[in-house]
Amino acid sequence: MSEVYAVRRTRLRERCNASGSTAALVSRPANVRYLAGAAPENAVLLLGRTEDVLVCPEPPDDRTPHSRPDEALRLHLMSGIGGDPAVEAAALATAQDVDALAVEEHHLTVTRHRAIGEAAPRLRLTGVAGAVEQLRVVKDEEEISCLRIGAEIADQALGELLESILVGRTERHLALELERRLVDHGADGPAFPPPWPPAPRRPPGHRPTDRRVEEGDFLSVCLGATYRGYRCEIGRTFVIGTAPADWQIELYDLVFSAQRAGRESLAPGAACRDVDRAARQVLDSAGYAEALPVLTGHGVGLEIDEDPQLTPAAMGKLDACVPVTVEPGVHLPGRGGVRIDDTLVVRPEADGGPELLTITTKELLAL
């Protein structure tokens, strides 16, 4: 595995060199993990001029292979207590005769940035905002395999929940129950904390509630597993009670059509905004323009919300091996709503088209 991380670091180094920096300081935890193989708490990674150094406040947890940092990195343990590893890394950069250090300006606070500048006044600080995130968009098969296992775990947890009695329980309780089942099945933990979805993802007017589930309710459940750091999500909507009402069947079918349109438009080279439009226009033309969330899908990986964003204003195109969610939803204030959410991997048609990772049925179940 070590070569994977070395290759990633080389790619970042090339980008930094191209923009005139001889070294880079990576502080955002998901980016540290991507480049170093593990992100010990509060650790930062220095891509130096002469060597790469992982600066850690304490010895990394090495009890499992996937919590062990890449052995090709030099490990630097902080000498003092309460210091900032980013400041210590800047001092190490100076010692390596670095003149321009690229830092993650979208992650460092103004205060930390200033402390780095004061501790290493000879360093010129430049920006590398978003560079690692861009490298992370296209996944390798090892990463996709982690997402696939995470999706299996989420499917299992959801399947078990559906076999239990739901009436009388709150959304919050169901979320905790799901978390426990995810861990039971081998997840590192949930992929995101409840309540979910957060604004601005959630449809206007909808919020997770403490209300108990009742007969006749539309119940939307959204969960995800983290497996070896990789996060996926799945969302399904059910009717509680014996038979769905006509308006519930109609609304469900509509959201299902929108979600299918989004899924079917996933292809290498497809514009992100076109995928969004495919899903959105089904709901728009049925008169639900006002009830739609800001996005109809997004990338997933080491974080639950990554690029690409599937929105009307998105600029980029999809590539093969990019995992995304497709998750249109409609919420009718006072009546409930429908949301259907899958994680898929963009694949060329020759490989069978988009790979669905979350395989729980999308039939409208009455529970």
Residues near its own copies (CB under 8 A) are 41-42, 57-58, 61, 63, 81-82, 103, 105-111, 113-114, 127, 129, 172-173, 176-177, 179-180, 183-184, 193, 198-200, 204, 207, 209, 294, 311, 313
What are the C-alpha distances in Å from 176 to residues 58, 169, 194, 197? 31, 11, 8, 15
- Smallest separation, CB 322 to its own copies (Å): 20
Q: 298, 324, 322, 323: which is closest to 310 by C-alpha?
A: 298
Q: Which is nearer to its own copies, 20 or 205 (CB)?
A: 205
* Gyration radius (Cα) of the chain, Å: 23
Tell me how far apart the alpha carbons of residues 309 and 324 are, in angstroms, rounded to a whole number: 9
Q: Which is nearer to its own copies, 293 or 354 (CB)?
A: 293
Q: Which is nearer to its own copies, 109 or 242 (CB)?
A: 109
Q: 317, 330, 331: which is closest to 265 by C-alpha?
A: 317
Q: Which is nearer to its own copies, 79 or 111 (CB)?
A: 111
| Pairing verdict, β 100-103 and 52-56 | unpaired
- Smallest separation, CB 184 to its own copies (Å): 8
User: What are the tokens at 24?
Assistant: 């880079």
Q: 153, 311, 149, 326: which is closest to 223 by C-alpha?
A: 153
Report the amino acid identity of residue 23. A
Q: Which is nearer to its own copies, 67 or 257 (CB)?
A: 67
Q: Residue 126 in contact with residue 115, Cβ under 8 Å?
A: no
- Residue 6 burial by CB count (10 A; 0-12/13-18/19+): exposed, middle or buried? middle
Q: What does the DSSP assignment read for 113-151?
A: HHHHHHH-TTPEEEE-TTHHHHHHSSPPHHHHHHHHHHH
Tell me how far apart the alpha carbons of residues 2 and 295 are, in angstroms, rounded to a whole number: 36
Q: What does the DSSP assignment read for 1-18?
A: -HHHHHHHHHHHHHHHHH
Tell me how far apart the alpha carbons of residues 256 and 254 are, in angstroms, rounded to a whole number: 5
- Smallest separation, CB 295 to its own copies (Å): 9
What are the C-alpha distances in Å from 251 to residues 8, 93, 277? 45, 58, 19
- Smallest separation, CB 117 to its own copies (Å): 11
- Smallest separation, CB 107 to its own copies (Å): 6
Q: Which is nearer to its own copies, 45 or 357 (CB)?
A: 45
Q: Which is nearer to its own copies, 18 or 110 (CB)?
A: 110
- Smallest separation, CB 124 to its own copies (Å): 14
- Smallest separation, CB 44 to its own copies (Å): 14
What are the C-alpha distances in Å from 106 to residues 103, 113, 121, 132? 9, 11, 21, 12
Q: Which is nearer to its own copies, 269 or 333 (CB)?
A: 333
- Smallest separation, CB 194 to its own copies (Å): 8
Under 8 Å CB-to-CB from 252, ≥6 apart: which residues?
Answer: 237, 244, 338, 364
Q: Which is nearer to its own copies, 6 or 294 (CB)?
A: 294
- Smallest separation, CB 191 to its own copies (Å): 13
- Smallest separation, CB 42 to its own copies (Å): 7
Q: Which is nearer to its own copies, 159 or 312 (CB)?
A: 312
